[in-house]
Structure 1
Amino acid sequence: MDIGAVITTIAIAGLIGVMIAMGSTLQVTDFRRVLTQPRALLLGVAGQILLLPAVAASIAIILDLSPALSVGLVVISACPGGAPSNAVCAISKGDVALSVTLTAISSLAAFLTVPLLVGAAIDQFLGEDTRLQLPFWSTAARIFLTTFLPVVTGMALARWVPMVAEAIRRPLFIGGFGIVLITSLLFVFSMIELLTSIEALLAVVMLNVLMMSLAFALGRGLGLTEQETRSVTVEVGMQNISMAIVVIIGILNAPELLAPTFFYLPMAYVTGLGFAWLVRRYRSPVLA
């Protein structure tokens, strides 16, 4: 087993830990927000699953990116936000419960949406001659095992053995997130030459800033509360880096697609925390 496979395996373990921890904060009743906050949930889910990949593909075409950069940009846009977005939402004084529910719904749906969206990007930008293959069902099964099942496991622990869930939640989240961050940095340092792509940096900046601005504008235009708008904006602006790495390295075995993910790693935190600072400084004093 090469070092890339080892790092990917460790990253998967970290992702599973984070997903279990997130699931342990959820109850079935949380999903009733679909009825009580339908506009916020619809905008948040549609923003992550539909708008992000569509805008990513459009940016790739407008900038005339290489096929590898184009597919890489769609991959990161197709991987819905992980638990770190919930923390940034809390910092921005958004609706944390809504943020967690959005993350849960998009993560649960990822085992179906990710292979569909990434497969479409491969067909669009690489064509039939590419060596890259993304078998739908095997890809769906792997993502199911790393996202859907851990979230449901965490929910089951919280429901049936709450003391255990409470005891493991913080260690799993901190440990899992730490593993994901470290493995992401290891990938960056092992393929540092990918960071020389100015086109990838420009595409990621455009995608992140445009989508957060669009989500914020749509939230206000649809009459969401300020807290709901903050949550939706953060969720749309922070994608799941570890899931993208798992798809690119663990499933596609195509490190040449990683450049957009590498740039997205710091960019998401810069814009996410920058947004939190702005809304707390200049928006409603009650929420700030």
Structure 2
Amino acid sequence: MDSALITIGLPVALAVIMFGLGLALTPADFTRVGRHPRAVAIALACQLVLLPLVAFGLVKFWGLDPLLAVGFMILAASPGGTTANLMSHLFRGDVALNITLTAINSIIAIVTLPLVTNWALGHFLDDGSQIGLQFDKMAQVFAIVLVPVVIGMLVRRASPTFAARMDRPVRIASAVLLFLVIIGAMIGEKDNIMGYLADVGFVAALFCVISLSVGYAVPRLLGVTEDQAIASGFEIGIHNSTLAIAMAITVLESTEMSIPPAVYGILMFPIAAAFGVVVRNRAVLTPSEKVDAPVS
């Protein structure tokens, strides 16, 4: 936890990732919800209600160590990651819906992430180690989530050409920094890493599969179009694991709690790719199902 890679690299990595998200957003991404309220509402319900319930059920069933259990709950409460947009594009999802969901979820997480984390700490640890809604902790979450996004949006508004040119380099830098942070978090717990992997590896993989499946199947069953359901699946299955790691290490000062999101951050990409292949080949979209939505 005291390594420079974690104490300095983690905030920098998260700032770059959230700044990159801001470069891809415009105010229209927030107002577009009015065009497809059903798809957005269903996806948000899955993200905010079903996922924490699924995570809670998994950690209770497997009887995970309390600190690891809290880490999973932090992960479940984290918004979708920016990679969901890329995955959705590659596998014919509604990218505009992804952008809208990422934007809205990132704002909602300012409140829901501390609430879920606080509840998890009280339930699993029961030692008074709660972050509550204290001003300083809320300010940290606010700074972690929102400030870099707003800066990125302001840069895009001032210079759309620059924002477009920086999109790819920022995405690459985000991926590299995320990898380094995950490796750094694991190195910090190298003496326990094999035990942690044995404890959380299968649960993390299962949680990823369930997240992707719920994100796709629930909207589909409720009448959402195929491309929107694919977008929802990726948005719900690909979490902002860097934010979860930052919450665990920076706000709660617990490397152990960062292990589940770190492991998840590694496993979710190949699992999401496999999921994309399955849903892409499941059915050919008909013209009546496709929804033309502008991508900002």
Is the pair's TM-score, using the shorter chain for normalization, greater than 0.5?
yes
Structure 1 residue 246, shift from structure 2 partner: 0.6
| 2:141 is the alignment partner of 1:154 | no
Tell me which residue corresponds to 1:194.
Answer: 193
| 2:69 is the alignment partner of 1:75 | no
Tell me which residue corresponds to 2:87.
Answer: 88
Alignment of 1:165-180 (within 5 A): 165-180=163-178
Structure 1 residue 54, shift from structure 2 partner: 1.9
Look up the SS of the partner of 1:207 in the other structure: helix
Q: 1:263 to 1:180 in 2, by over 3 A?
A: closer
Structure 1 residue 135, shift from structure 2 partner: 4.7
CA contact (8 A) 1:71 1:257 kept: yes
Unaligned runs of 5+ in 1: none
Tell me which residue corresponds to 1:254.
Answer: 254
CA contact (8 A) 1:25 1:155 kept: yes
Structure 1 residue 120, shift from structure 2 partner: 0.6
Identity %: 31
For 2:131, which of 119, 130, 134 is the aligned residue?
134
Structure 1 range deviating more: 189-198 or 242-251? 189-198
For 1:184, which of 161, 182, 185 is the aligned residue?
182
Alignment of 1:116-131 (within 5 A): 116-127=115-126, 129=127
Alignment of 1:33-112 (within 5 A): 33-112=32-111
Tell me the amino acid that sits aligned with residue 176 of structure 1.
S
Tell me which residue corresponds to 2:292.
Answer: none
Tell me which residue corresponds to 1:280.
Answer: 280
CA contact (8 A) 1:111 1:141 kept: no
| 2:265 is the alignment partner of 1:265 | yes
Look up the SS of the partner of 1:2 in the other structure: coil
Unaligned runs of 5+ in 2: 288-296
Structure 1 residue 76, shift from structure 2 partner: 1.1
Tell me the amino acid that sits aligned with residue 152 of structure 1.
V
Tell me the amino acid that sits aligned with residue 40 of structure 1.
A
Structure 1 range deviating more: 254-263 or 226-235? 254-263
Q: 1:82 to 1:54 in 2, by over 3 A?
A: same
The ranges of structure 1 where at least 4 consecutive aligned residues each deviate by more than 4 angstroms after the TM superposition are none
Query: 1:34 & 1:52 partners in 2: Cα distance?
Result: 21
Q: 1:6 to 1:214 in 2, by over 3 A?
A: closer
Structure 1 residue 123, shift from structure 2 partner: 0.5
Look up the SS of the partner of 2:81 in the other structure: coil
Task: Tell me the TM-score normalised to structure 1 length.
Answer: 0.90
* Aligned length, in residue pairs: 284
- 1:133-192 per-residue CA deviation (whole Å, 9 max, x = no partner) reads 425232221121122122122222222332332343332232233212212122223323
CA contact (8 A) 2:13 2:181 kept: no
Q: 1:8 to 1:98 in 2, by over 3 A?
A: farther
